[in-house]
Structure 1
Amino acid sequence: MDVLKLDAVGQAQAVRDGRVSARELAEAAIAHIEAHDGDLNAVVHRRFERALAEIDAIPPDAPFRGVPILLKDLGWRQAGEPYSGGSLVQDGVENAVDGYGVVRLREAGFVLLGRTNTPEFGSTITTEPVAFGATRNPYDEAYSAGGSSGGSAAAVAAGMVALATASDGGGSIRIPASLCGLVGLKPTRGRVSLGPSMGEGWSGFSCAGFVSRTVRDTAAALDVVSGTYPGDPYAAPALPGPLAGEVGRDPGRLRVGFLTAHPRGDVPEVPELTEAVTAAAALLESLGHDVAPGGPEALGETAFTEHFGAIVADNLAAHVAGLGELRGKPVELDELEPRNAAMVNAARRRGAADHILATQWVDGFRRRMAAWWSAGHDLLLMPSLGVAPFPLGWIPPGDLSIAFGRTSHAVAYTSPVNATGQPAISLPLHRNPAGLPVGVQLVAAAGREDLLVRVAAQVEAARPFEHAALR
């Protein structure tokens, strides 16, 4: 039995059945990381000895006892462990306390092996930080694993672990999931607490979640970490029950709209993305759903990019200011990567009123988007990424005009869903002619992760996902 090729639910069952011990499972994952991460550069902080020493203290009835997991090195704070956020400025900072999500992962019995690579402050779609170097895609090492959860996605796709934590402020779960052939669910805003060190990320755009190889892993893992704590700024609508229980449940006949071209008009249509969405639409129709072209008119609003970008830049500037206070001297722009330096500089020139006006515009956008679901639609099907799979270096650090333009196209289908706070899931249903994964995403109304899991599991059963990059 190659236990590392099992998903996390399967690994947990293997431990319970006595087919493998918790220690043997963790040691197998460690050996796999040591054998393959030199090529991929997915894991930037390792805590193997400490992780093994913690296994004996895991309660025998913990549901994921002994299952190894990696934490994204952005959010997902772990007490006493280094925290870099992909940045030389932040590298070496140690967290004082566990984040609530990490507490719940420990309580569930996961073995925390280390932290995965991310771009500086998670602000772009490819994981190529100056601090740690590029993470390579297990399907083709010349290609990007995506960002900002690229290290987590590469590790899972290569079989180092079955499950890794991630986060998504503009597509950072769904984009790496698309590029690495994985399942990636961005939950509803407030489903997973970011406390105690944070109330919200990127003014509510950012959510915590996972990348995995199966729908049931994503559902079960979200069950572990979901929930609000006193003082959280948001509370997601209650689910009807555990998400793991939605796997295999009939979703009924759903009304699905789909888009193969972005209604904004400034995003080039890419043939392989069109093929992926068209094929997924046909699959959903064959499963009994009512599928037709169309989506929210609000997606075509050209002002979105400006307001979304301004809010993100303002948040980056605030984060950098906080790092300056932490270390006792301000962070200079030349200490940052050029992309972030430009965003922080632009934010410093804006006033507080400009930020409030941008958030008020997004408030209206969220209501205009929600109207499409309120009018009777259940799901929106779109590409997970607005561009084709791309090689490392495609987002050039030295040419910000090209970098920002390409990034804007890439997140055109994902960032609006961060602004609205709705849940969305990327599924690995297509490959391009070179054999690289191309994901499609399904977006549901706020609070309807249960519906996404039902449909995603139905799709997975009808067309099982292939994971050709497993090593």
Structure 2
Amino acid sequence: MIGDLGARDATELAGLVAKGEVSPDELLDAALAAVGARNPAINAVVLVQEEVARAEIRAGLPRGPFRGVPFLIKDLGLEAKGLPSLNGTRLGPARTYAADCNMMARMRATGVVTFGRTTSPEGGVGIATEAAVYGGPTRNPWNTDHTAGGSSGGAAAAVAAGIVAFAHGSDGGGSVRVPASNCGLFGFKPTRARLPDGPWSGEGWAGMAIDGFLTRSVRDTAVMLDACEGPDLGAPYCAPPLAKGYGQAISAPPRRLRVAICDTTFTGAAIDPEVAAAVQEAGRLLEGLGHHVEPARPKADIGAMMRAWTDIVAVGTALTIRQKLKGSALTEDLVEGVGRGAVKHAEALGPLRYLEAVEDIHDFGREMASFFRPETGPGYDILLSATLAEPPAKVGRFSHETEDYVDYRLGPGRCFDYSPFAAVFNASGQPAASLPLGWSASGLPIGVHLAAPFGADEELIALCAEVEAAVYWNRRAALAG
């Protein structure tokens, strides 16, 4: 019954456990065997804790929606008891935690069997996952010459390779949606503050960062989001409440929507022809489903937003690095080039710049909101674009060797040119998703991006489910067999 995990989603696996057709231990055996067989080629799974997972099974798993399903968590900032973390950095030994953060506690309550972590770039600032602490780059299972993306690159590679059916990630500038696009998966970023950050943090990157999941199916994301959503005690702010929840939302298609399609960047620059063709095909698909589709793009100040994003992330990165250095020198054997550059950039900023940058992204959020409201703009329900401007990049293109942090983010051919769409919605706080709807001629996945107004998560995920039902995208694993 468990021969090909790479073709099943987590909901199906949980159903097999519930019917007694397979045990949690057998699923864990299969996942560990897949780590042994497939991980050497992709370098996605680290810090495996088999005995911790076995002990959880013996103690009795919670009877949640994913009871018995193997699960991996991103090695970046998620405190989890029994699951040590390197956090993508060489600054000190693996850190252990005495308790779970609130997000981890909610994920555990679903009954998942968490047995390890997945790779991330140092500081989570990369568009690729190539942290030195893991001994090499994380590679794309569809073609190992190419990146799996970042910063949840290990999570995406592990799911795409059929090691697990789904995995935890996080998204501060596209870090769920970018690897989802690169690896042929579904990745959904909820509205800002939809998920808990506590108890040891109030927000990430001025509210731009949020947790998420890399999945093969919309339903797996919907159910896991329902299990985790809602503010935790002491949250500085929260998202608008859901009307019925993600799982209920995908039970029926949404109303017919007004969709703006943009097959360029949001500033009008051309993107790769194969990627543009995937966007156009997605537009025809939505039109065939009865939605109204017309060309349009927002007029918000993308350049100012990206400069603000770059400065905010530099300050956050510098704070983390300085705290971990504990007074030690900022040397290349401890911190990679981009991290050293982020510290230098942050410390060169004027004392007022951080709050000015936060104001810039708040202003940008209002500009984006006007695009989706009929009272102030054209009033679109959905903005359709590419997730990335190109198919998956080659390994090494976005390595962290350079110390020019600003060029790494904003320079010609660098991160923002490659990924000009995703961070827009971290800054605005809007829900957004990458859907695995395209393929390059060379056999690499191409993601198509959908975004909705702030708080309209349910309508967006309902549309994603409608698209999934219409095309039933490929769920097979890249390295299976």
> TM above 0.5, one fold?
yes
Aligned residues: 466
Cα separation, 1, equivalents of 2:262 and 2:319: 36
Cα contact 1:58–1:109 (8 A) shared by 2: no
AA paired with 1:439? G
Give the C-alpha shift of residue 192 in structure 1.
0.8
- DSSP-derived class of the 1:46 partner: coil
Cα deviation, residue 360, structure 1: 1.1
Give the one of 35, 39, 42 matched to 2:41: 39
Match status 1:139 vs 2:137:
no
Alignment of 1:68-467 (within 5 A): 68-132=70-134, 133-265=136-268, 267-298=269-300, 300-324=301-325, 328-330=326-328, 332-334=330-332, 335-375=334-374, 376-399=379-402, 403-404=408-409, 405=411, 406-467=414-475
Q: CA deviation at 1:65?
A: 1.3
- Three-state SS of the structure 2 residue aligned to 1:131 is helix
Q: CA RMSD in A?
A: 1.6
**Partners in 2 of 1:245 and 1:397 — Cα distance?**
42
CA contact (8 A) 1:3 1:25 kept: no
- 1:296-354: per-residue Cα shift (whole Å, max 9, x none)? 210x5432221111111111111112223xxx434515331111111110101113311
How far is 1:76 from its partner? 2.2
Judge conservation of contact 1:58–1:65 (CA < 8 Å) in 2: no
Contact residue 339 and residue 403 of structure 2 kept, 8 A? no
Runs of 5+ in structure 2 lacking a partner?
Answer: none
Q: Does 1:22 align with 2:30?
A: no
Q: CA deviation at 1:286?
A: 0.4
TM-score w.r.t. the length of structure 1 is 0.95
Q: 1:61 and 1:81, CA in 2 relative to 1: closer, same or farther beyond 3 A?
A: closer
CA distance in 2, matches of 1:362, 1:60: 40
CA distance in 2, matches of 1:60, 1:128: 35
Q: Which runs of 5+ in 1 are unaligned?
A: none
- Find the aligned partners of 2:261 and 2:342 in 1 and give their Cα distance: 33
Question: 1 CA distance for matches of 2:298 and 2:174?
Answer: 18
Rounded Cα–Cα distance in structure 2 between residues aligned with 1:467 and 1:287? 22
Shift of 1:75: 2.5
The whole-number CA distance in structure 1 between the counterparts of 2:160 and 2:342 is 32
Cα distance in 1, alignment partners of residues 55 and 346 from structure 2? 45
SS of 1:389's equivalent in the other structure is: coil
Partner SS state of residue 211, structure 1? strand
Secondary structure of 1:108's counterpart equals: coil
Q: CA deviation at 1:399?
A: 4.6
Q: Is the contact made by 1:189 and 1:234 (CA closer than 8 Å) also made in structure 2?
A: no
- Among 50, 61, 64, the alignment partner of 1:62 is 64
CA distance 1:60–1:231, change in 2 (3 Å): closer
> Structure 1 residues 97-106 or 401-410, which shifts more?
401-410
Alpha-carbon separation, structure 1, partners of 2:13 and 2:399: 40
